[in-house]
């Protein structure tokens, strides 16, 4: 079962987010290379937060625990939801 992670920004400036972004991106790249992240990114307006689709809940929880955005308290709220995929486009 997949897992979807939603981040809502806390009381943080975008300058601070961009300063931490390289550390976050490194972790994203590592999880993607291991096949644990299927898709990830911000909403059109980054102030509205972001989401990621993970292969399973355990990977999502592991990611969140060590993500610089969370560890450095830039994320105000994290929501992880398990997701039943009923139809998926294979690329």
- Confidence at residue 68, expressed as pLDDT on a 0 to 100 scale: 96
CATH number at residue 40: 3.30.70.1060
pLDDT in tens, 13-53: 989 999 999 999 999 999 999 999 999 999 998 888 999 99
- Confidence at residue 91, expressed as pLDDT on a 0 to 100 scale: 72
**Structural domain boundaries, residue 10:** 2-83
Whether 31 is covered by a domain: the verdict is yes
pLDDT band at 89 (very low <50, low <70, confident <90, very high): confident
CA distance 40 to 56: 14
Supply the DSSP symbol for 44.
Answer: S
- Number of separate domains in the chain: 1
**What does pTM read for this prediction?**
0.90
Whether 38 is covered by a domain: the verdict is yes
CA distance 79 to 90: 26
- Confidence at residue 41, expressed as pLDDT on a 0 to 100 scale: 95
Instruction: Give the residue, 82 or 47, on which the prediction is more confident.
Output: 82
């Amino acid at each position: 079962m997949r897992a979807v992670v939603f981040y809502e920004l806390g009381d943080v400036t975008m300058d601070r987010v961009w300063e931490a972004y390289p550390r976050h991106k490194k972790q994203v790249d590592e999880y993607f290379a291991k096949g644990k992240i299927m898709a990830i990114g911000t909403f059109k307006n980054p102030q509205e937060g972001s989401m990621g689709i993970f292969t399973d809940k355990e990977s999502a929880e592991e990611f969140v625990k060590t993500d610089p955005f969370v560890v450095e308290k830039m994320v105000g709220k994290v929501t992880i939801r398990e997701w039943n995929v009923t139809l998926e486009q294979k690329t």
